């Protein structure tokens, strides 16, 4: 039986952005539904631990944001994934045996980001996971993904992951950063004194406890019979490779990619910027997109971190409610102050994003028989053959080979397939494009999907 719900504003995603957006919109007088696929509100940064697992300072900050939403009487639907979104606005959600059709006058997409995944020979071996996945193990379950861990990739997030694992008692055998320490990074940090303490404390905490800090190398191959046992680290400047062993788990992360399923399904404009995680929803500071009534906030608008996510959420919540005729009671001075804070916080996050953007050498590690699309088991060689036959975009590659047509709808292979086509054709990622998701945009039981579609398409063209 499908439930029908209505609200002035539906907010998709209950991370820092969605919680702030829902709270601000509700405080303005709009009725608000806040929907999240996770079992508990909080999103990635504010992730709430499972019962019995201990939290950390991030989950504590999250508890406060969740309490504020509850106090404002936001209606929270946890454990419900949005699997379809139609203009107008109608959303379909499923989870925990429930099928829900939501009609709303405005939508705020605050559905965050996911790990940026790169393919290299052996990357599908057991014992290898994304950096975000490894951290989630600890934050959600209070359990370690492994005892002796190598963390490799690029970006400050690797340090946060290392700290989480070290605090939980893991041995971090090596932290391998693709970039080398640079003057550009030091100058960027110098411009943001408000972040010095945090940066210094993270550096001290991690560098004093990891066994080895390695710069200027990327994982070029993982070896092992049943699970990962060794990795080859290539020098990004072409120097000799190094073999690393004696670990049980490899976590690889090259930053995040915005989740653009909801904004794509609702048809707003997107832009490409490698420093912001690639394709993201184009929105102004109030979160207004090119589609009237559709707002975007947080990482959906480009990777920048949890501070700008929360600030952009508040602004989107206020703007969405105001556009529907509610009065937020927030004076112009206050929104002006929030916007100045948002500009600065984004400048910091986007600057880091540019400094740690994926290096071209990453795409060169996959060989012809390396699987790029895991769901459909499509290799780099198959993508290259498709390119030779004229396929020069991710959409064409999907039509030719089925890459990106599986359960994850290209979330995992988008970066590798794009890089492969870019390398072979010389086209920019912007021209190679992205695949618009198909409904259902998340894997769900067929029965759930059928019931929801019948209800949702009733009376619609």
Ligand X SMILES: Cc1cc2nc3c(=O)[nH]c(=O)nc-3n(C[C@H](O)[C@H](O)[C@H](O)COP(=O)(O)OP(=O)(O)OC[C@H]3O[C@@H](n4cnc5c(N)ncnc54)[C@H](O)[C@@H]3O)c2cc1C
Three-state DSSP state, 332: helix
Our finding on whether 257 is near ligand X (CB under 6 A) is no
Contacts with ligand X, 287-316, as mask; x by CB under 6 A: -----------xx-----xx--x-------
Asked if 210 contacts 150 with a C-beta cutoff of 8 angstroms, the reply is: no
Residue choice 8, 26, 34, 43 for contact with ligand X (CB under 6 A): 43
Our finding on whether 228 is near ligand X (CB under 6 A) is no
Our finding on whether 351 is near ligand X (CB under 6 A) is no
Structure tokens at 143: 């359990």
Our finding on whether 449 is near ligand X (CB under 6 A) is no
User: Residue 455, Cβ neighbours under 10 Å: how many?
Assistant: 17
In the complex, what is the shortest distance from the CB of residue 109 to ligand X, in angstroms, rounded to a whole number? 9
**What span, in angstroms and rounded, lies between the C-alpha atoms of 293 and 87?**
10
C-alpha angle with apex 149: 147 to 152, nearest 5 degrees? 165
Residue choice 9, 11, 12, 316 for contact with ligand X (CB under 6 A): 12
Angstrom distances, CA of residue 74 to CA of 82, 186, 361, 364: 18, 42, 47, 48
Residue choice 65, 342, 442, 444 for contact with ligand X (CB under 6 A): 442
When the beta carbons of 160 and 166 are compared against ligand X, the nearer one is: 160
When the beta carbons of 122 and 313 are compared against ligand X, the nearer one is: 313
Our finding on whether 135 is near ligand X (CB under 6 A) is yes
Our finding on whether 278 is near ligand X (CB under 6 A) is no
Our finding on whether 247 is near ligand X (CB under 6 A) is no
Our finding on whether 433 is near ligand X (CB under 6 A) is no
Residues 180-206 as b or e (16 or more Cβ within 10 Å = b): eeeeebeebbeebeeeeeeeeeeeeeb
Half-sphere exposure of 167 (CA within 13 A, CB side): 16
In the complex, what is the shortest distance from the CB of residue 130 to ligand X, in angstroms, rounded to a whole number? 7
Our finding on whether 14 is near ligand X (CB under 6 A) is yes
Residue choice 8, 36, 248, 448 for contact with ligand X (CB under 6 A): 36
Phi/psi of residue 335, nearest 5 degrees: -65, -35
Nearest to 110 by CA among 300, 278, 289, 288: 300
Contacts with ligand X, 166-195, as mask; x by CB under 6 A: ------------------------------
Nearest to 18 by CA among 8, 10, 28, 6: 10
- Please give the residues from 59 up to 118 whose contact with ligand X meets the rule CB under 6 A: 81-82, 110-115
Asked if 306 contacts 62 with a C-beta cutoff of 8 angstroms, the reply is: no
Which residues are at the interface with ligand X (CB under 6 A)?
A: 12-18, 35-38, 43-45, 81-82, 110-115, 132, 135-136, 160, 256, 259, 298-299, 305-306, 309, 442
């Amino acid at each position: 039986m499908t439930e029908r719900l209505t609200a002035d504003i539906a907010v998709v995603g209950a991370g820092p952005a969605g919680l702030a957006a829902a709270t601000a919109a509700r405080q303005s007088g709009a009725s608000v539904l806040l929907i999240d696929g996770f079992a508990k509100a909080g999103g990635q940064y504010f992730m709430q631990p499972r019962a019995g697992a201990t939290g950390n300072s991030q989950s504590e900050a999250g508890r406060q944001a969740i309490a504020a939403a509850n106090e404002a009487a936001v209606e929270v639907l946890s454990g419900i994934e949005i699997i379809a979104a139609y203009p107008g606005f109608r959303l379909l959600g499923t989870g925990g045996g429930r099928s829900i059709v939501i009609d709303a006058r405005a939508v705020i997409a605050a559905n965050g980001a996911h790990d940026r995944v790169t393919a290299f020979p052996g990357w599908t071996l057991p014992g290898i996971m994304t950096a975000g996945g490894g951290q989630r193990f600890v934050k959600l379950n209070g359990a370690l993904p492994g005892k002796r861990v190598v963390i490799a990739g690029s970006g400050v997030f690797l340090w946060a992951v290392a700290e989480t694992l070290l605090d939980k008692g893991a041995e971090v055998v090596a932290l391998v950063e693709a970039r080398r320490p640079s003057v550009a990074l030091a100058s960027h940090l110098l411009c943001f004194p408000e972040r010095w303490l945090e940066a210094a404390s993270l550096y001290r905490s991690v560098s004093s406890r990891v066994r080895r800090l390695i710069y200027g190398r990327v994982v070029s191959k993982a070896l092992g019979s049943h699970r990962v046992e060794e990795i080859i680290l290539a020098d990004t400047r072409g120097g000799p490779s190094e073999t690393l062993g004696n670990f049980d788990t490899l976590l690889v992360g090259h930053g995040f990619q915005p989740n653009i399923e909801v904004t794509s399904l609702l048809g707003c404009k997107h832009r490409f910027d490698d420093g912001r995680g690639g394709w993201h929803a184009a929105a102004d500071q109030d979160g207004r997109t090119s589609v009237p009534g559709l707002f975007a906030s947080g990482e959906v608008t480009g990777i920048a971190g949890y501070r700008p996510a929360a600030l952009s959420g508040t602004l989107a919540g206020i703007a969405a409610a105001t556009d529907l005729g509610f009065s937020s009671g927030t004076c112009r001075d206050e929104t002006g102050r929030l916007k100045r804070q948002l500009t600065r916080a984004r400048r910091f996050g986007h600057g880091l994003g540019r400094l740690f953007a994926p290096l071209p050498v990453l795409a060169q590690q996959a060989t012809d028989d390396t699987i790029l699309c895991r769901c459909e088991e499509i290799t780099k060689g198959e993508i290259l053959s498709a390119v030779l036959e004229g396929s020069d975009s991710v959409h064409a590659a999907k039509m030719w080979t089925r890459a990106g047509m599986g359960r994850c709808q290209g979330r995992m292979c988008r970066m590798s397939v794009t890089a492969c086509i870019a390398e072979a054709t010389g086209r920019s990622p912007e021209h190679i494009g992205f695949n618009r998701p198909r409904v259902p945009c998340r894997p769900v039981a067929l029965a759930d999907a059928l019931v929801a579609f019948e209800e949702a398409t009733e009376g619609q063209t």
